């Protein structure tokens, strides 16, 4: 049977391939330390679990509007007002089956064949694939490591063509953890307004920041940028709710309505029980979020300090998310490996540490390490990585 061309064009997920290999080794009895996870290792807070149980007990198990229950939309608009001083109506909000589904649906309603979306690299692996599935063209622009992997206004301007429809800004970033400053966002925003380029602002890691910097949404910088931006967010990372699959998009009500119409023919609605769980997440105290953030900061400090003291590994310290994205090119070359992918495979085979090669994120000299695991496991992983690198020093 011949599959559709759109599916044949997809690039397999490097993250999933490494995860599968690590699981297979674990199943064989090996002591594998996985640093590939894209999710917090904490359980969902108890008050959210309780809210889900109450919803089930009260019969909240039926269909909802395709774009989400009004109560959850109200809590999202209140959150956006509280955190970014942004004012939205419920007509400007769609609740989706995770932030990934918000992005997928947005590209489906925005893009025609050949429309271009500028994607700064390193990028989250699903951005280019979702654009291709919408028959658009991802235009990859490599952000310089010397600039903390952040796209500049000059790079953005140079990449724009008559076919450019949108640009993706992910801050804090997966995979780098780097965050754009207000000044950097203003400069990018000016270019977007000048060329009428829509801004897709992926803010899923906004609550996980470990510096004194405040998270800034590009939509809050001016009225013009507010109207030019679609915000993507959700509870997956902030409240350790990856499996609940609740995200949202906020922006132009015509776009949001189109997304809701499309969702009605794909998912019908996000899971009802999960919506009530997310409602609790957005309306209760953020004490549990703060505790999780404090734990992540301690882990970041430990792992970053260990990595930068390993010969051949260079790593800037990120501002947020829960990833480090070190450059291992020197260690790879000194070890005589063909490329970073081969180095990562050997590390997993020999030391049983699973990382994700940067090639999957558009940055082949780097690797992504998630510190969403215990301090003890991170110490062991750092010991093994150091032992592996030292063994191959020529």
Single pTM value for the model: 0.97
- Give ∠ CA 373-379-382 in degrees, rounded to 5: 105
Q: Are residues 75 and 213 in the same domain?
A: yes
292 and 365 together in one domain: yes
Token reading at 246: 């609740």
Do 34 and 52 belong to one domain?
A: no
- Last residue of one domain, picked from the residues 284, 301, 327: 284
Domain count, the chain: 2
pLDDT of amino acid 394: 63
Strands 93-96, 247-250: parallel, antiparallel or unpaired by DSSP? antiparallel
- Residue spans of beta strands (DSSP E) within 171-266: 198-202, 229-234, 247-250
Q: Of 284, 318, 345, which marks where a domain is finished? A: 284
Report the distance separating Cα 311 and Cα 254, nearest Å: 53
Judgement on whether residues 279 and 295 belong to the same structural domain of the protein: no
Torsion angles phi and psi, residue 216, rounded to 5: -120, 130
Contacts of residue 394, Cβ cutoff 8 Å, sequence gap at least 6: 334, 335, 336
Q: Is residue 148 a contact partner of residue 176, using CB atoms and an 8 Å limit?
A: yes
Q: Is the peptide bond before 172 cis (omega within 30 degrees of 0)?
A: yes
274 and 298 both lie in a single domain: no
The stretches in the chain having pLDDT less than 50 are none
Q: Which residues contact 53 (CB under 8 A, 6 or more apart)?
A: none
Q: Which domain holds residue 221?
A: 46-284
Do 235 and 270 lie in one domain? The reply is yes
DSSP string, 229-275: EEEEEESTTTTT-GGG--EEEES-HHHHHHHHHHHHTTTSSS-HHHH
270-281 per-position pLDDT tens digit: 999 999 999 999
pLDDT at residue number 273: 98
DSSP code at position 164: E
Cα 348 from Cα 333, distance rounded (Å): 18
Residues 67 and 169 in one domain: yes
Same domain, 198 and 308: no
Q: Do 170 and 278 share a domain, yes or no?
A: yes
CATH label of the domain that carries residue 379: 3.90.1150.10
State whether 262 and 338 are in the same domain. Answer: no
Domain boundary among 229, 260, 284: 284
Query: Do 153 and 176 reside in the same domain of the chain?
Result: yes
CA 10, CA 99: separation in Å to the nearest integer? Answer: 20
> What is the model's pLDDT at position 158?
98
CATH number of residue 220's parent domain: 3.40.640.10
* Residues 229 and 324 occupy one common structural domain: no
Gyration radius of the chain over CA positions: 21
């Amino acid at each position: 049977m011949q599959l559709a061309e759109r599916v044949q064009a997809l690039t397999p997920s490097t993250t999933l391939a490494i995860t599968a290999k690590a699981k297979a080794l674990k199943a064989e009895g090996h002591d594998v330390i996985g640093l590939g996870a894209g999710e917090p290792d904490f359980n969902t807070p108890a008050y959210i679990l309780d809210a889900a149980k109450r919803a089930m007990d009260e019969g909240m198990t039926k269909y909802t509007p395709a774009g989400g229950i009004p109560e959850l939309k109200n809590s999202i608009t209140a959150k956006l007002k509280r955190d970014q001083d942004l004012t939205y109506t419920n007509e400007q909000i769609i609740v989706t089956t995770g932030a990934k589904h918000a992005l997928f649906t947005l590209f489906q309603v925005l893009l025609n064949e050949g429309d271009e979306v500028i994607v700064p690299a390193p990028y989250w692996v699903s951005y280019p694939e979702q654009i291709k599935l919408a028959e658009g063209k991802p235009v990859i622009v490599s952000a310089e490591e010397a600039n903390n992997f952040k796209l500049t206004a000059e790079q953005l301007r140079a990449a724009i063509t008559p076919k450019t429809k949108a640009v993706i800004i992910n801050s804090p970033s997966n995979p780098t953890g780097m965050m754009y400053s207000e000044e950097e966002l203003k400069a990018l925003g000016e270019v977007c307004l000048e060329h009428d380029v829509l801004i897709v602002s992926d803010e899923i890691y906004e609550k996980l920041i470990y510096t004194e910097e405040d998270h800034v949404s590009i939509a809050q910088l001016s009225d013009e940028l507010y109207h030019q931006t679609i915000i993507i967010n959700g509870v997956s990372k902030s409240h350790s709710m990856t499996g609940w699959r609740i995200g949202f998009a906020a922006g132009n009500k015509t776009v949001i309505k189109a997304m809701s119409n499309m969702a009605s023919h794909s998912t019908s609605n996000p899971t009802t029980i999960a919506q009530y769980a997310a409602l609790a997440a957005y309306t209760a105290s953020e004490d549990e979020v703060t505790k999780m953030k404090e734990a992540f900061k301690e882990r970041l400090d430990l792992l970053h300090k260990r990595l930068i003291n390993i010969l051949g590994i260079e790593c800037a310290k990120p501002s947020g998310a829960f990833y480090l994205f070190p450059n291992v090119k020197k260690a790879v070359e000194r070890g005589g490996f063909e490329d970073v992918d081969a180095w990562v495979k050997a590390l997993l085979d020999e030391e049983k540490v699973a990382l994700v090669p940067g090639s999957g994120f558009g940055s082949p000299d780097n690797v992504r390490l998630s510190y969403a695991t215990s301090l003890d496991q991170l110490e062991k992983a750092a010991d093994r990585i150091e032992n592996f690198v030292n063994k191959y020093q020529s």
